[in-house]
Structure 1
Amino acid sequence: MRTAEAFAKTRAEGRAALVGYLPAGFPTLADSIKAIDIMIENGADIIEVGLPYSDPVMDGPAIQKAADRALHAGFRTSQVFEVVEAVSGRVPILIMTYWNLVERYGTGRFAADFAAAGGAGLITPDLIPDEADEWLAASDAHDLDRVFLVAPSSTDERIASTVAACRGFVYAQSVMGVTGARSATSTAAPKLVERTRAHTDLPIGVGLGVRDGDQAAEVASYGDAVIVGSAIVGCYLETDDVPSGHQRLAELTTELAGGVRR
């Protein structure tokens, strides 16, 4: 399923989309597939599958810990396609990945294997369009979305050039620094979304910090998508066993889905 289809649906319903993030292979390979199923069943409109990396400099402590567990359990890059294939078809599935992993695998090969698994596109937090010629060509060849990031520090010129290279949606990094659930959403986010809308008609997803339904509703009042990662990972880090984590994830996703529908 393509990202544009999901946003057409949520726009028709007059609401923002809920985007749920979880690293592949966490808490185990099979349980990451189960967790994504749970998110879809309880109202997630789009899924971001994280590709675990040994040096996740932009991720907060929760996601770093989850990626570390997956890697120590033996997770390999090729297994991300197993996860994507197992969950694709109902909602768009995107991979969020540091670019070094794609280069090491081979950009063209990665795009081909991802498309064959039913994936919709990549979110590339450490890749800028100026340095993305190989990915732009590969994504065109395999009809994949490409989601680049804008931040509060981005100049208007940088925002314009970034959104021009995007396909699917634009990722608005609403706070500076690493990811993580926060007690309050970013005050810079609405202004960043406003500045970004001046340069594109693409949907704008807002990420970093949302942890509950109230915050989801707040972000949904100005963003086209609410992106939640650390709070979802926390469902497993803060419980004693995986079944309890699954139950907590179902409850959290239901709450977040309610929030974006207010």
Structure 2
Amino acid sequence: MKSLTKLLKEKQQADETIFVPYIMAGAQGLEQLADEIQLLTEAGASAIELGIPFSDPVADGPVIQQAGLKALQKKVTLRKIIQQLKQVKTPTPLVIMTYFNPMFHYGLETFIQDLAETNVLGLIIPDLPYEHQALLTPLLKDSDISLIPLVALTTPKERIPELVEAGEGFIYAVAVNGVTGIGRNYQETLDEHLAYIQKVSDKPVLAGFGVSTKEHVDRFRKSCAGVIVGSKIVQLLSEGRKAEVKVFVEEAVNK
């Protein structure tokens, strides 16, 4: 399979909207995971971000925290998720969003080796600072797995080129200060900020946090390559509204 960077750059060069939906793995039960991935694949997702339930999710808003708690109550663990993903056959690249602690307890080397048997092509680790990435990068060197950087609104402008140069897959541009969630207000300078990140990055820049409408998607497409949508999709899935998830993704990826 091609690398995540190559797959998404091809979409960017074709002027396609890159749309990455986020789901909390195991919130509806691990036995539902393959069906959820299939649903999002059929709807046109460019890649699918899988959240790993964790007891102290500092970047997650209330909807995603609640989904994580549901998964933890079902005894879902990172190890069980990886075992499940080994059985999932999908053409869509998967990206794992996890905090460092579950990976550390899994065993970093074993974790990366086990991912090689899945369709996971990217990792997002919100609490792993750029300065500490050397804990992981040597293990990823010979793999197809991209370590995806997050760029915050508070990231100093002079630091952004360094972060995007080191990152792979795509650049996760955090569109609000604080945690994920629906109904966030965006700063007036956000579009300029996103356009600057895309200008200095040779990888697609995707806006995330608070993206919940087709209007949001259309807005961000003017300044970057696409979006990541989490809380909206997690909420709909938790309410059993799969058909609405499919329609939302289909409308977002089709201009």
**Distance in 2, Cα, partners of 1:157 & 1:131:** 19
Residue of structure 2 equivalent to 1:247: 243
Instruction: Rate the CA distance shift 1:219–1:194 in 2: closer, same or farther, 3 A.
Output: closer
Find the counterpart in structure 2 of residue 196 from structure 1: 197
Pairwise mapping of residues 1-262 of structure 1 onto structure 2 (< 5 A)? 1=1, 2-182=3-183, 184-237=185-238, 239=239, 242=240, 245-258=241-254, 262=255
The more displaced of 36-45 and 175-184 is 175-184
Q: Which ranges of structure 1 fall in alignment gaps of 5 or more residues?
A: none
Change (3 A) 1:210 1:133: same
SS, match of residue 122 in structure 1? strand
Q: For 1:12 and 1:194, locate their aligned partners in 2 and report how far apart those are by CA, in whole Å.
A: 16
Q: Provide the rounded CA distance (Å) in 2 between the counterparts of 1:127 and 1:153.
A: 17
Contact 2:100 2:125 in 1 (8 A): yes
Please say if residues 172 and 192 of structure 1, whose CA atoms lie closer than 8 Å, have aligned partners that are also in contact. no
Contact 1:208–1:227 (Cα < 8 Å) also in 2: yes
Which whole-Å CA distance do the structure 2 matches of 1:183 and 1:96 have between them?
21
Aligned residue for 1:26, secondary structure, equals coil
TM-fit CA distance, 1:75: 0.4
Moved more, 194-203 or 124-133: 194-203
* Higher alpha-carbon deviation: 26-35 or 194-203: 194-203
Identity of aligned residues (%): 30
Compute the displacement of 1:15 (Å): 2.4
190-199 or 99-108: bigger deviation? 190-199
User: How far apart, CA to CA, are the structure 2 residues paired with 1:9 and 1:165?
Assistant: 20
Distance 1:207 1:192 in 2: 13
Q: Are 2:192 and 2:223, in contact at CA under 8 Å, matched by a contact in 1?
A: no
Q: Deviations over 1:75-116 (max 9, x none)?
A: 011122134334454121110111111112111111111122
SS at match of 2:126: coil
Distance 1:164 1:183 in 2: 29
Amino acid at match of 2:120: G
Moved more, 64-73 or 142-151: 142-151
Task: Find the aligned partners of 1:76 and 1:40 in 2 and give their Cα distance.
Answer: 24
Q: 1:11: Cα distance to partner?
A: 2.4
For 2:184 and 2:165, the matched residues in 1 are separated by 33
Q: 2:93 is aligned with what amino acid? A: P
Q: Give the Å deviation of 1:136.
A: 0.8
How far apart are residue 216 of structure 1 and its match? Answer: 1.2
Are residues 183 and 132 of structure 1, via their aligned partners in 2, closer, same or farther at CA, if it must alter by over 3 Å?
closer
1:179–1:209 CA contact under 8 A, matched in 2: yes
Q: Deviations over 1:7-26 (max 9, x none)?
A: 23422431220001001102
Q: Give the secondary-structure state (helix, strand or coil) at the position aligned to 2:169.
A: coil
Q: Deviations over 1:209-234 (max 9, x none)?
A: 11121211111221112100000001
1:84 and 1:93 in contact (8 A); partners too: no
TM-score, structure 1 as length reference: 0.90
Distance between the aligned counterparts of 1:184 and 1:155, measured in 2?
21
Task: Note if contact 1:24-1:83 (Cα within 8 Å) is conserved in structure 2.
Answer: no
Q: Which runs of 5+ in 2 are unaligned?
A: none
Alpha-carbon offset, residue 186 of structure 1 = 4.8
Contact 1:25 1:70 in 2 (8 A): yes
Whole-angstrom CA distance in 2 between matches of 1:236 and 1:16: 23
The Cα of 1:143 is off from its aligned counterpart by 2.8
User: Taking structure 1 as reference, are residues 9 and 199 closer, same or farther at Cα in structure 2, changes over 3 Å only?
Assistant: closer
CA contact (8 A) 1:185 1:210 kept: no
